[in-house]
């Protein structure tokens, strides 16, 4: 007996369910990497921005120069997916930092506000440092405000008070108050002349000093002092700075140098395009910053002739600078000396007369 077999084609290959599972897992991984946010920030090279267009001389002469001081920025990606996390792990020009380390307990909105406040303080400090270098102080100390009141001063003083004298002797700055009570002991009485922080009628307050927890022989007033500064009127030079929506305080040195360049004759940079980063304090000390790798890459790619950085970041900056010279500076004087070595006219800076 013969049996006829009918077939439409070759037999089907056996199914492979493992392939389908792997494919679905790959699709899921791609979707997760694309749409799921990870708790990190990525810091990328930003830009170099000239400051001459951001510094306005509202009183006094302005001297435009061929060279230019630039400040450097970092681009901050606050929403990071898996692909961006992986990219940041692989590219040396990117830095990946945990979200909690960046925010420090603040919300994202609070962090933006915090950084804008840092920039406001940085701008006013830079103006003061530059003008003081030229012999003009735009602020004067007018008393000692109180950031905190505890212990013996509670109920007698408030954070709305400013101390003008201690036992009749003027105290204009925070350190004056510290010196005035340094040698006082627990139980000593000090008489203070105090006025409201915004000015007005003064009053006399007597405070009995307590004792410090760490040394029972030392008098304790229970306040955190801070100097009250007021603007000086009718200055021969006045400056405003508009940095837009850029936050942080790392442009302090750049702002100081740019102001000096624009209010004095000559080429502070020697005609060079100079990028700068670093905080600056009221005494002209340059402080460290974050994002040095991203900033040096931005300066290098922006064609800068020279990059001034805080001394502590100089070695790391040179590793990414290529052929761009990098100078480490610790003070404003160091920065001016570095510019002089590259042809800048930084000696005998002064405001024009007449």
Mean pLDDT calculated for residue range 145-161: 95
In a domain, 19, yes or no: no
pTM over 0.85: no
Q: Encode pLDDT of 186-219 as tens digits.
A: 999 999 999 998 888 999 999 999 998 888 888 9
pLDDT tens digit sequence for 60-70:
999 998 999 99
Q: Which of 231, 246, 278 is the last residue of a domain?
A: 231
Query: Do 129 and 238 belong to one domain?
Result: yes
- Residue 354's pLDDT is 59
- Model confidence pLDDT, tens digit, residues 17-30: 667 666 566 655 55
Residue 90 in this model has a pLDDT that exceeds 90: no
Q: Is the same domain home to 285 and 324? A: yes
Give kind and range of the element (H or E) at residue 110: helix 108-133
- Strands 273-276 and 306-310, sheet pairing: parallel
pLDDT value of residue 20: 62
Question: Do residues 145 and 107 share a domain?
Answer: no
Rounded to 5 degrees, what are φ and ψ at 47?
Answer: -140, 165
Q: Are residues 108 and 193 in the same domain?
A: no
Distance CA 48, CA 73 (A): 6
Query: Is 82 part of any domain?
Result: yes
One-character DSSP codes across 322-343: TTS-EEEESBHHHHHHHHHHTT
190 and 144, same domain (yes or no):
yes
Determine the pLDDT at residue 121.
85
CATH of the domain at 169: 2.30.42.10
Q: Is residue 27 part of a domain?
A: no
Is residue 72, in this structure, part of any structural domain at all? yes
Same-domain pairing of 59 and 202: no
Q: Which residues of 52-69 are buried (b: 16+ CB within 10 A; e: fewer)?
A: eebbeeeeeeeeebebbb
Please, which pLDDT band fits residue 245 given cuts at 50, 70 and 90? confident
Tell me the three state secondary structure of residue 113. Answer: helix
| Rounded Cα–Cα distance for residues 340 and 331 (Å) | 14
**Structural domain of 212:** 139-231
pLDDT at 7: 45
Q: Report if residue 104 sits inside a domain.
A: yes
* Whether residue 177 sits in one domain with residue 81: no
C-alpha pair distances (Å), 326 with each of 21, 81, 322: 54, 34, 10
């Amino acid at each position: 007996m013969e049996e006829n077999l009918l077939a439409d084609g070759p037999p089907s290959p056996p199914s492979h369910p493992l392939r389908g599972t792997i494919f679905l897992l790959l699709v899921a991984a791609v979707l997760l990497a694309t749409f799921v946010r990870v708790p990190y920030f990525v810091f990328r090279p930003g830009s170099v921005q000239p400051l001459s267009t951001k510094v306005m001389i509202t009183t006094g002469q302005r001297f435009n120069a061929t060279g230019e001081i630039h400040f450097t920025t970092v681009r901050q990606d606050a929403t990071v997916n898996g692909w961006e996390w992986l990219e940041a792990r692989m590219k040396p020009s990117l830095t990946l930092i945990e979200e909690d380390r960046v925010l420090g307990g603040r919300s994202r909105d609070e962090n933006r506000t915090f950084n804008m406040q840092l920039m406001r303080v940085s701008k006013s400090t830079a103006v003061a440092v530059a003008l003081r270098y030229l012999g003009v102080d735009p602020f004067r100390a007018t008393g000692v405000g109180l950031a905190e009141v505890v212990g013996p001063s509670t109920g007698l003083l408030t954070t709305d008070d400013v101390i003008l004298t201690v036992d009749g002797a003027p105290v204009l700055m925070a350190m004056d108050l510290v010196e005035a009570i340094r040698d006082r002991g627990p139980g000593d009485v000090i008489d203070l002349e105090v006025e409201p922080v915004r000015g007005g009628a003064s009053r006399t307050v007597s405070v009995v000093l307590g004792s410090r927890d760490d040394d029972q022989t030392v008098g304790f007033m229970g306040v955190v002092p801070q100097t009250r500064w007021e603007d000086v009127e009718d200055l021969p030079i006045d400056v405003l700075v508009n940095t837009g929506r850029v936050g942080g305080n790392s442009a302090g040195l750049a702002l100081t140098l740019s102001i000096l360049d624009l209010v004095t004759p000559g080429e502070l940079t020697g005609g060079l395009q100079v990028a700068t980063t670093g905080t600056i304090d009221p005494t002209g000390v340059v402080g460290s910053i974050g994002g040095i790798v991203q900033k040096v890459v931005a300066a290098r790619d922006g064609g800068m002739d020279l990059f001034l950085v805080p001394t502590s970041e100089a070695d790391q900056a040179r590793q990414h600078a290529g052929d761009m010279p990098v100078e480490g500076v610790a003070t404003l004087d160091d920065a001016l000396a570095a510019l002089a070595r590259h042809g800048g006219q930084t000696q005998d800076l002064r405001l024009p007369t007449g």
